[in-house]
Amino acid sequence: MHVHWSISPLADWQAEAILFFTFEDSRPLLPGFVQWLDSQPWWQAELTPLRDFKGKHQETSIYYGPRDHCIARVICVGLGPAEKFDREKLRNAAAVAVRKCRELRISHPALPLPALQGLPLDGATALREALIGAETGLYRYGALKTRNDEPDAFPETLCLLAGQEPGDDLQEALNDAQRTARGICLARDLVVAPANIVTPRFLADKARELAHQFAFQMQLIDLDAARRMGMGLFTAVAQGSREPAYMIVLEHRPRGTEEDRPLVLIGKGITFDAGGISIKPSSKMELMKHDMAGAAAILGAFQIIGEMKLARRIVGILPCTENMPDGKAYKPGDVLRSMSGVTVEVISTDAEGRLILGDALAYALDLKPCAMVDIATLTGACIVALGDRVGAVMGNEDALVAKIQEIGMQVGDRLWPLPQWDFYFDDLKSDVADFKNVGERKGGAIVAGIFLKQFVPDHVPWAHLDIAGPAWTEKDLVSAPKGATGFGVRLLVDLARRWHPTKQCG
């Protein structure tokens, strides 16, 4: 959908449909809506008092003008009660509005800037959130369909109506919304696509495209190189697959930041998880293509970071492999030596994500990071604890964990903190190695975080995001259709541009 500006007086606006929002039982209407109605006597008579429309969250009502009228339709979408308004409700309302346009095959709707007046947000923020909701709400993955009768091309454009030239803040809000949507949709595409297409090599090629486009530094560590570097956890998981495995390292290093300590983002990239020798049940195993959603989130974030030319050194590390039950696959009972030197007893080969992340965290320490954040579809236990709409965050610095949760609430990537108390390590104690890769079922998401914590020195700020639930939706949401959600993309970008460590990394 192409978004463009149209500058003209309110009375002269033209569109196939014009989009407005209103709070539940809102009387009077939002001030921008009232201003437009004052310039449109016919519509004022038609829309007052919006008849049976109540303005409930996502409620939609359509009003039709005369055949020859410059505004053919007015589409009103409810925001719910004013006292419960947040940015997500605006994003949802905008998504509902453009989906209604697609349903009605409206090619050229318009969003008036006054439609956002009266919201408890500044104009640029309101415009950005509405456009992100609209752009991502239209997302569909249709790359492999040859029979598709659904109206994917609608709407073709979205016109932003304004009475005067937009200021720099509004233009930047438009630019920011569009690049954010592109990053989220890239991550969704990678996660939804089947595992016979999105292999570790495919992700490496995508990273190479981004490196070429945005002048990122890139290093590709293949399996032989990983063995030479002592990555015994990563290589053990990878040896069971016929697909070549790679540890992908992307670096955004703008001029003047070469000596800065980087923010390191690490994403789990299991492109298909059969469980290895501890093979999963066949029911819904096809969904295990989405076990690389953490890596996809980082690639989506780097798409945005590259476009916005963020003036900060950032490194992305993506350990990418399949987890398969081949004759060469690692086995329960094996003891593996990690890059950091610690040994791990394998209890379940289906707890592979923490293994490859362990070596990635150890590798990241050589970069002398100012902080590290890993993101992974790590445990089913997290879904049991928090459901499928909320992820978990845990880490070794309260300020970092709190900032991640705060940003997540603002951008719609909800996270809830879980504890990291030392006694949880008791479940990982091993008779033959430094520790095991799993404990008992109790506290599974927390124990997985405790496992990762063993690879992070206390002086390095670190957070772990378990997105096993919200990375994928089994039903259509307002913000995303059934499938990948792009969870974490916007969170990582906003963290990179808004957070700096409060303590030095020694």
Q: Which tens digits make up the pLDDT trace of 420-464?
A: 999 999 999 999 999 999 999 899 999 999 999 999 999 999 999
Among candidate residues 102, 354, 436, 490, the one labeled active-site is: 354
* 151, 291: one domain: no
Is a pLDDT exceeding 90 seen at residue 395? yes
Q: How far apart are CA 347 and CA 359, in angstroms?
A: 18
Predicted pLDDT of residue 145 = 86
503: in domain: no
172: in domain: no
Predicted pLDDT of residue 27 = 63
Among candidate residues 140, 201, 261, 280, the one labeled active-site is: 280
Predicted pLDDT of residue 28 = 65
* 262, 409: one domain: yes
Predicted pLDDT of residue 44 = 77
Q: How far apart are CA 64 and CA 25, in angstroms?
A: 21
∠ CA 15-21-26, rounded to 5°: 135
* 335, 411: one domain: yes
* 150, 200: one domain: no
222: β partners = 246
* 280, 351: one domain: yes
Chain centroid, CA 87 distance in Å: 16
Predicted pLDDT of residue 112 = 95
- 162, 193, 216 - which closes a domain: 162
456: in domain: yes
Predicted pLDDT of residue 46 = 77
Side-chain-facing half-sphere of 13: CA atoms under 13 Å: 34
* Residues contacting 145, CB < 8 A, separation 6+: none
3-state secondary structure of 473: strand
Q: What's the whole-number mean pLDDT along residues 60-77?
A: 88
Is a pLDDT exceeding 90 seen at residue 153? no
Per the annotation, the verdict on 280 as an active-site residue is: yes
481: in domain: yes
pLDDT in tens, 360-371: 999 999 999 999
Sequence-ordered alpha helix ranges (H) in 193-231: 200-214, 223-228
Q: How far apart are CA 481 and CA 474, in angstroms?
A: 9
Phi, then psi, of 148 in degrees rounded to 5: -145, 105
Query: Mean of the per-residue pLDDT values for the chain?
Result: 94
**Choice between 27 and 17, residue whose per-residue pLDDT is larger:** 17
State the total domains in the chain.
2
pLDDT in tens, 456-500: 999 999 999 999 999 999 999 998 999 999 999 999 999 999 998
393: β partners = 417, 465
Full domain range(s) for residue 376? 181-498
- 162, 195, 210 - which closes a domain: 162
Yes or no: say if 165 and 7 are a contact pair by the CB < 8 Å rule: yes
Per the annotation, the verdict on 201 as an active-site residue is: no
In SS3 terms, 140-168 reads as CCCCCCCCCCCCCCCCCEEEEEECCCCCH
pLDDT in tens, 196-239: 999 999 999 999 999 999 999 999 999 999 999 999 999 999 99
167: in domain: no
- 94, 127, 162 - which closes a domain: 162
- Number of Cβ atoms within 10 Å of the Cβ of 336: 22
426: in domain: yes
Amino acid in the structure at residue 282? S
* 190, 45: one domain: no
* 145, 274: one domain: no
Yes or no: say if 330 and 240 are a contact pair by the CB < 8 Å rule: yes
Is a pLDDT exceeding 60 seen at residue 42? yes
pLDDT confidence band for 506 (50 / 70 / 90): very low
**Choice between 38 and 357, residue whose per-residue pLDDT is larger:** 357
Q: What's the whole-number mean pLDDT along residues 136-152?
A: 82
Looking up residue 339, the CATH number of its domain turns out to be 3.40.630.10
- H or E segment to which residue 247 belongs: strand 246-252
pLDDT in tens, 92-129: 999 999 999 999 999 999 999 999 999 999 999 999 99
506: in domain: no
351: in domain: yes
* 157, 213: one domain: no
Question: How far, in Å, are 195, 322, 361 from residue 268 at the CA level?
Answer: 15, 11, 11
* 66, 100: one domain: yes
pLDDT confidence band for 49 (50 / 70 / 90): low
Question: How far, in Å, are 32, 125, 167 from residue 170 at the CA level?
Answer: 16, 8, 5
pLDDT confidence band for 374 (50 / 70 / 90): very high
Is a pLDDT exceeding 70 seen at residue 152? no
* 102, 6: one domain: yes
Is a pLDDT exceeding 50 seen at residue 357? yes
Predicted pLDDT of residue 504 = 52
* 360, 437: one domain: yes
DSSP codes joined into one string, 329-384 = ---TT-EEE-TTS-EEE-S-TT--HHHHHHHHHHHHHTT--SEEEEEE---HHHHH
* 69, 216: one domain: no
Looking up residue 113, the CATH number of its domain turns out to be 3.40.220.10
Q: How far apart are CA 130 and CA 279, in angstroms?
A: 44
Place of tokens 């696959």: 329
Task: State both tokens at 172.
Answer: 């930047």
